[in-house]
Amino acid sequence: MSTAEIISWEPATGAELWRGKRGNVDEVVSRARRAWPAWAAQPLATRMELLRRFANEVRKDTEKLATMISRETGKPLWEARTEVESVINKVEISIRAYADRTAQRKLDNALQGTSAVRHKPHGVMAVLGPYNFPAHLPNGHIVPALIAGNAIVFKPSEKTPATAEMLINCFHRAGISAAVVQLLIGGPEEGQALVAHEGIDGVLFTGSAHAGIAINRKLAARPDKIVALEMGGNNPIVVWDTPKVTDAATLVVQSAFTTAGQRCTAARRLIVKSSMYDALVAEVKRLSERIIVGAPFDDPTPFMGPVIDNQAADGLTESFLYLLSHGGKAIKHLVRPRDDLPFLSPAIIDVTGVKDRPDVELFGPLLQVIRVNDFDEAIAEANSTRFGLSASLVGGGPTEYNRFWANVRAGVINWNRPTNGASSSAPFGGVGLSGNHRPSAYYAADYCAYPVASNEMEQPRAMIGVGLREE
């Protein structure tokens, strides 16, 4: 039985941060349905101007919002600030993307009149956000959906409601109706009720594959509802021939351990050429041992904070022990300095000898290493997953990269760059269990409005030229 309240705890201290009552799904959706027609009827220029005002409200609250993100997720303050910057930048990127991806087109067909393509909003959209980027990732759905003319019901992760509340207040202060953008506090039960609600026209989700698949299954008989799923990955970073071992190791560490490994694009598997193995792994280990793990506001500044909660820390510890007991060789042990708080050291384990390696997203600072002998084997290992979000090749030349790009199944494929840090000015999404072919970021406009084709004439003009009896 769920409690009447949702409580948010600070991962770094264990202290209570926020509490609030669960929302009423029927009431929230009903209110959004009543508000939507007037919002959709606003001129596009008006909606864009209000979103720009939202960006200014966030700008005014940058430090306050960054501090809240740090307290609620445990991520270092420097990283929380970059998240707030992404929230602000999303507005201009989304305005540009809407003009590009959903542009109005007219073609004069002389005696046939005019043919036109315009776009309409879907209606009331449910946005379900994750805890790792509690402002930026839901905002990446909300802003383009509002520009297109949709109303929003946003249910944040039950682990990060305080950040969500601050974000939604910025929309309201900007002059966007509190009925057009609503916050629904709740846990899985409220999320499930929202997804299944008859008054919802679409579901925009970022989170685990488990939850995304459940949404997909729930709406399998409802092709009338738009569903966009972004579900994470078991991402490979392949290191091939390069003299720049330190740079390669730095890219591996950035890919695996930024945000304590709690990014859907984080590198989970390091696939390395045998001849590069000793030098690279030694350098990755050396750099990982220098990483400062600490609370968000510590001095010196930490690179990594805790994972989100003790349950996540317990699961990662169990996963490390499982790999160790099934043939894995520890390169750098997973260390948990305190049992009562979810701080973990970066961990590295060689799983080359592990048979039937589990194809799961281990959402934390745990890097698995696989040694291979040739490039075909590296590509096969990279593709040895049901996921397909991001992949990077470090080293090699243009020939190897062309082969890598052509043969690796992923929606984000990089060369000599980390697996994470994707640009909002490009599409973002994956294949397999990483998504349902509805990429977000720059392509979010595609799922926020649908195209309408029209043939138009100012006066009716018609004749039937064949098959009629003479009068």
Active-site annotation holds for 230: yes
The rounded distance, in Å, linking the Cα atoms of 144 and 235 is 27
Give the integer Cα–Cα distance in Å for 25 and 236.
39
Instruction: Select from 361, 337, 365, 377 the least CA-distant residue to 433.
Output: 361
The one-letter code for the residue type at 252 is: V
d(CA 364, CA 349): 13
Query: Does the active-site annotation cover 289?
Result: no
- Tokens 């945000």 identify what position? 259
**Pair of tokens at residue 251:** 């890219």
Decide: residue 406, CB within 10 A, 0-12 exposed, 13-18 middle, 19+ buried.
exposed
Of 264, 283, 381, 400, catalytic: 264
Other beta carbons within 10 Å of 175: 12
Contact criterion met (CB below 8 Å) for 305 and 73 = yes
Sign of the CA dihedral running 347, 236, 72, 64: positive
What DSSP letter does each residue of 365-404 carry, written as one string? Answer: SEEEEEEESSHHHHHHHHT-SS--SEEEEES--HHHHHHH
DSSP output for 63-87: HHHHHHHHHHH---HHHHHHHHHHH
Please answer whether residues 84 and 69 qualify as being in contact, where contact means their C-beta atoms are separated by less than 8 angstroms.
Answer: yes
Name the catalytic one among 57, 190, 230, 361.
230
Residues classed as catalytic: 230, 264
